[in-house]
Structure 1
Amino acid sequence: MKFVKNYLIPRLITYFLVIFVGITMVFFIPRFLPTDPVQQFIARFTTQGVYMDPKSVENMISTLKQLYGLEGSLWEQYRDFLVRFSKLDFGPSYYQFPTPVKTLIAQSLPWTVGLLLSTTLLSWVIGSILGGFAGYYPDKKWVKIVDLIAMVIRPMPYYILALSLLILFGFIFPIFPVRGGFSIGGKIRFDLYSIVTILKHAFLPALSLLLIGTFVWFQGMKLIVQTVKSEDYVRYAKYAGVPEKKIVYQYVIRNAMLPQITGLALSLGQIFSGALITEMTFSYPGMGTLLYNAVFTGDYNLLMGITSISIIVITTSVFLIDLLYPLLDPRVKYK
C-alpha cells in the first residue's frame, strides 16, 4: 500500500498532468499561427481556376470548419478537441483531404518505428558497452582507435554524413536504393522478397542513424564511467580486494547505466515524431516526412495528431522508467 500511496499515485497524477498540459499546448499553438487551413483550402481551388459562387463558398467554409474542429468559440473548439482526443480522432487531413489523420499516421508509423526503434536500441547497446569499457580501460589500443573515429564522426553534421553515405553507396557504388521504403509500385507481402527489399531501402538511413547514435552514447557513457571510477566507494572496493570484474560490472557500469537508461527512455519516445532530416534525405515514408508536410501546408489536424501521439509516448516512456528505477538503482526506494 505504501508503494501505491506514496510512489505510484503521485507519479500517475504527474503523468496525466503532463499529458493534459502537452495536448493543451498542441491545441492552442497552431491556432496562433498566421496560416488558416480553411482559407488555404479555398485559395487552392481558386488558383486552380475553379469558380464558386458566394453561397457555395460559405457552405464549404462551414463544412471545413466543422471537419477541422474550428467551429464555435475557442473554448468550444477546445472542448470538442478533448472529446475527439479521447477517441484518437483528429479529423481529416488538409493536404491529403479527405483522408483521416489517424489513417495517415497508421500508414507512416510502422516505417518510422521499424527504422528508428531498431537503430536507437542497437546504437544504445553498442555505444553503452563500448563506452563503459573505454571509460574503465582508457589506455587500451582499441579505445584510442574508437576515440579517433568518434572524434571524426560525432562532430560531423548529420546531413553531411547522410549525404556522404547516399553518394558513396547509392551513386559511386550503387549497392543500395537511394530513396523510398519499398520498390515503386510494389506491394508489400510477408515473403522473403519483401523483407529483403525493405531492408535494402532502410540500410542507408539506418546506417547513418546508427553511426551518429553509437558515438553519442559511446562518448556519454565513457565520461560517466570515468566519473564513477574516481568515486570513493570504487577505490575502497579496490583496496578491499574486491575482484576487478565485480568492480567493473556491479560498481561502475551498473551505476553509470542509470543516466543512459533515462536518455534511452527519452529517445524511444522521440522516435514517434520521426527523424525529419533522415526521412527527407532518403525520401523515407515515415513520420518525419508526414510532419514536414503537415508544417509546410499548415495542416492543423495532422500536426495535432502527430504531436499528441509523440507527447503520450514520451511521457509514458519516462513514467515507466521512473517506476522501474528502484529496481535498477538500490538507492531509490518506493517510499
Structure 2
Amino acid sequence: MYLLRKLTFYLAALWAAVTLNFLIPRLLPGNPVDILISKLAQQGPVAPGTRDSLEMLLGSDTSESLWSQYVSYLGGLLKGDFGTSVTYFPAPVTDVIGQAIPWTLLLVGISTLLAFLLGVGLGAFAGWKRGTWVDSIIPATALLQSVPYFWLALVLVYFFAVNLGWFPLSGGYDVNSVSPGWSWEFIESAISYGTLPAITIVVSSIGGWLLGMRNMMVSTLSDDYVVTAEAKGLHPMRVMITYAARNAALPSVAGFAISLGFVVAGSIVTEQVFSYPGIGNAMLLAVSNNDYALMQGLFLVITIAVLVSNLLVDLFYGLIDPRTRTRN
C-alpha cells in the first residue's frame, strides 16, 4: 500500500509536469517558425509553402486547436519523439539532449558528489569540535555559498585562466587538436577544460552542506544515545562516526539525493560563463530562440530526474524509518 500510494502520487505529479511543460512554452511571446524562416531567408528566397511545412515539422501548427496539439504532443512522447530542434535544425531533440547530457552529468555530478562528501565530512568534524577554532571557520565557508556563481566563475577565470594560464578559458575540450572518443588525449583534454568549472561548483556549494551537517551534528550530540555511548567509555572516533555522524547525516543524505535530480539541469550560469557544452548551455540557447521542442525535451528530462530522485528518497526513508510508512 505504501509503495502504491507513492507511485500514484508521483505519476500524478509527472502528468501535471508534462502538461505544464506543454503549456508554458506556448505562452511565451514569439514563434519558432518565424525565427527559422528568418534564418532561411538569409540564405535566399523562401518558398510560399515553407511556413506550413515547418509548422507541421515543429508541431506548432497554429491552425490546430490547443487540445489537438496536446494530444499530438503526448503521442510523440510515448513514441520517444520530442520533435525537431529549431536551434540545431534539423537535428532531433533527442540527439541534442543525448550529446549535451553526458557533459553535464560528468561535470555537475562529480562536482556535486565531491562537494557533498567534503561538506558532510568537514561539517561532522566541525560539529564534533564545536566551540574550537575549527568551528570558527564555518562562517567563512558559509559566506562562499552567498557568492553568485557567475561572479565566482569570472574571478576564477581571470586569475587561473587569463593571468596564470593554468586552465583553458572556455569550452569542453580542445576542438582543434582532439576528437571526441575514448582516447586518453580526449579524456585529458576534457578533464583540463572541466576542472575550473568543477572548482566553481564545489567552492560555491560546499558551504551549504558543511553548515547543515555541522548544525545537525551539534543537535545530535545532545541526544541520549550519544551521551550513553560516551558514558560507556567508547572511543571518541567511534562515537563521532557510528553514533553521532551516522544519524546527523540523514537529512543531508536526503538533500543530496534530491540534488542529484537537479544535476541533470546542470549549472546553467557556470556552463554559460565557461561556454561548456552541457544541458544548461543548450537550455539558454533554446529559450533565446523560442525553441519549443528543445525546451520541452530539456524540461521533461529534468522533471523526470527530480521526480525519480524524490521517489528514491521516499522509498529509502521507508526502509530506514518504518514510521514513515504509517504516516498519512
Superposition TM-score, scaled by structure 2 size: 0.91
Matches within 5 A, 1:55-204: 56-57=47-48, 59-71=49-61, 72-144=64-136, 146-147=137-138, 149-185=140-176, 186-204=178-196
- The partner residue of 1:215 within 207, 210, 223 is 207
- The partner residue of 2:27 within 12, 16, 32 is 32
Asked if 2 retains the 8 angstrom alpha-carbon contact of 1:255 and 1:329, the reply is no
Asked if 2 retains the 8 angstrom alpha-carbon contact of 1:258 and 1:328, the reply is no
Tell me which moved more, 195-204 or 134-143.
Answer: 134-143
Counterpart CA distance in 2 for 1:333 and 1:32 is 40
The structural deviation recorded for 1:232 is 4.9
Deviations 1:268-308 (A, max 9, x none): 11111121111111111111110000000100000000000
Matched pairs, number: 324
Counterpart CA distance in 2 for 1:277 and 1:24 is 27
Counterpart CA distance in 2 for 1:73 and 1:136 is 62
Counterpart CA distance in 1 for 2:322 and 2:88 is 51
Q: Which residue of 1 aligns with 2:11?
A: 16
The structural deviation recorded for 1:309 is 0.5
Letter in 1 for 2:57: L
Asked if 2 retains the 8 angstrom alpha-carbon contact of 1:272 and 1:287, the reply is yes
Counterpart CA distance in 1 for 2:171 and 2:58 is 30
Unaligned runs of 5+ in 2: none
Asked if 2 retains the 8 angstrom alpha-carbon contact of 1:326 and 1:334, the reply is no
Asked if 2 retains the 8 angstrom alpha-carbon contact of 1:112 and 1:271, the reply is yes
> Could you say what secondary structure the match of 1:167 adopts?
helix
Letter in 2 for 1:102: T
Alpha-carbon RMSD across the aligned residues, in angstroms, is: 2.1
Counterpart CA distance in 2 for 1:127 and 1:168 is 25
Q: Does 1:42 pair with 2:32?
A: no
Asked if 2 retains the 8 angstrom alpha-carbon contact of 1:108 and 1:287, the reply is yes
Counterpart CA distance in 2 for 1:81 and 1:285 is 27
> Could you say what secondary structure the match of 2:249 adopts?
helix
Deviations 1:227-249 (A, max 9, x none): 23334554455456666445433
Tell me which moved more, 122-131 or 258-267.
Answer: 258-267
Counterpart CA distance in 2 for 1:168 and 1:194 is 25
Asked if 2 retains the 8 angstrom alpha-carbon contact of 1:93 and 1:101, the reply is yes
Task: Give 4+ residue runs of structure 1 displaced > 6 Å after superposition.
Answer: none
The structural deviation recorded for 1:332 is 3.9
Letter in 2 for 1:10: R
Unaligned runs of 5+ in 1: 1-5
The structural deviation recorded for 1:199 is 0.6
Q: Which residue of 2 aligns with 1:3?
A: none
> Could you say what secondary structure the match of 2:115 adopts?
helix
Counterpart CA distance in 2 for 1:49 and 1:128 is 56
> Could you say what secondary structure the match of 1:273 adopts?
coil
Counterpart CA distance in 2 for 1:151 and 1:280 is 24
Asked if 2 retains the 8 angstrom alpha-carbon contact of 1:165 and 1:204, the reply is yes
Letter in 2 for 1:77: Q
What's the % identity of the aligned pairs?
Answer: 33
